[in-house]
Each structure stands twice: as structure tokens, then as C-alpha cells.
Amino acid sequence: MDWTPGGLSGDIEDRRSEGGGGIGFGGGRGLGIGGLLVLLVISLITGRNFIGAYLLGNSGAVQQQGPSAPPSADEQRSAQLVSFVLDDTQKTWTSILPGYRHARLVLFRNATYSGCGSARAATGPFYCPQDEKVYIDLGFWNDLKRFGAGGEFAQAYVIAHEIGHHVQKLVGTEAKVEQLRAYNPSAGNKLSVALELQADCYAGVWAHSGEKRNIIHADDVQQGLQAAAAVGDDHLQKMTQGYVAPESFTHGTSQQRMDWFERGLQSGDMRACNTFGNASSN
């Protein structure tokens, strides 16, 4: 991917110097089975107890740590890459979606607060529709590499996916899904899968724009596909429990995630990203 490191975007809120403390407010969106599996896999691979950290944070306990260390050169480059991708994806969506409103992105370390409750490094990057912000601890990139999804475009895919959730908020998809969940709770997992796959497709729409402008190349697309496959529900379940339970999926299989990313990439059209079908039915 062709990009030039520079300053941080005006849409970035940098909290990395605020220290690693945070308050677990609870009441935010639960991780669900898929999210807990991610924590379990990362815990097994890294030897760090992310499950315990999540449970502690969710209990409302206050975690106090000292001031954060200054960012390393590698971390600064990662922040600059995130900044570039954030600006580029939002520029793309501004040209596609009339009235597009910019999301903000929060860089933090270990833990911070969000409109959806506490944000912790252990939960990975996420979008909060309540405050329209993406939250990320850059240490997640090291864990992503351990899943077999290294490279700068793998990181770009994650940011573009989260901005895809912002697009869903702006066009009303997120609100409709919440209404359907309330009306038919048994369809919750299917709706979650559809929401995540559509965000993958929207990431592909941005990648299509990047290809047209010659800043994204074939090897970048391969990195994006590897990142999508690495976080598929079936892949994570096989790694953690040795078998696959489709009824518990919340994000989609590796193949589904790759397919929908490619659909957005090939079409460049958000109308090609209708992942819902009969997702609201049992």
C-alpha cells in the first residue's frame, strides 16, 4: 500500500499519554461468544490473561496504572498508518454517501472510557455507535500477526471494517438491527453475522477505490483476505475448542468474511453489500 507517514489526523483523539488506567463501567455491549473466543485465543498465544482482564473491567473495578511510556518509532509509524487509512476511508465515503459525517478514532493504551462503556485492549478494536468513535490499542497489531495476518494492509482492513460500522450507523442499518434483535432475540446471532459481513464488504468498497487510485495493490488485497480469514468464527473455534458450532457464530466464517470483502472490492458499490437476506428470521 502506497502511503506517506505524516502527522495525525484531525479526526484522531490520542489518549495514549493518559496512562493505562481505566474504569470498567459495565453496561456496554457484551462481547458475545465470538469476542470471548478471540480473548481466549489471544490469551493462549500470548500467555497474558485477557479473559481475566475483561471480566475484571466489566465488574466495574478501577484499574490504576502509572503514566504510559513514550511511543516507540514503530508505534508512531502505526499511528500514522491508522491516521492515513482513517482519512482515506472517510474521504472515500464522503464521495459515496451524501451527508457523510466523520467518525473519530481514539488511540489508547490498556483501557479508557467510551460511550459504550469501558474500552480495553483485550477486547480488540471496536466501533461505538453511541459516540461515533472507533477505539483501538495499537498493541492489537502484534496479536493480529500471531493470527497469521501481518502487514500494513491487514491493519488497514481492520480500520476500514470499523468505519464500515460507522456507515451502518449513518444509513440506519445499525438501528434497524437493534430493533430486529429486540423483536426477535433468537435471531441475534444471525443479525450480528450479517452486520459484520456487511462491514467487511464496506471495507472492500474502500479498497476498490484505493485500487482505482493505485495506492492499493494485489499483494495488499491478499493481506486483507488473510486478515478476514484469521478472524472467522470457524477458524477461531477450531483453534480453541477443536470443533465448529455454527449456531454460535457472531461474525461469520473465514470464507464468508473473505467473500464479502471481495464482493465490495470487485463492485465498489455499497449496494452490493446486502448481507441480511433472511437474517431476521429463525
Predicted confidence band of residue 23 (pLDDT cuts 50, 70, 90): very low
Mean pLDDT for the stretch of residues 250-262: 84
Domain ranges, ordered by start, for the chain:
12-272
Contacts of 183 (CB under 8 A, 6+ apart): 280
d(CA 103, CA 100): 9
Helix (H, G, I), strand (E, B) or coil at 136: strand
Coil, strand or helix at 169: helix
Q: CB–CB of 28/22 below 8 Å? A: no
Binned at pLDDT 50, 70 and 90, residue 68 comes out as low
Q: Which of 22-36, 94-108, 118-132, 249-263 has the lowest mean pLDDT?
A: 22-36
**How high is the pLDDT of residue 65?**
47
Q: What are 188-239's pLDDT values in tens digits?
A: 888 988 999 999 999 999 999 999 999 999 888 888 787 776 666 655 555 5
All residues at 6 or more sequence positions from 242 whose CB lies less than 8 Å from its CB, including other chains: none
Give tens-digit pLDDT for 126-152: 999 999 999 999 988 887 777 677 788
What CA–CA distance (Å, rounded) separates 70 from 91?
30
Integer Rg of the chain from CA: 18
Q: Are 32 and 17 in contact (CB under 8 A)?
A: no
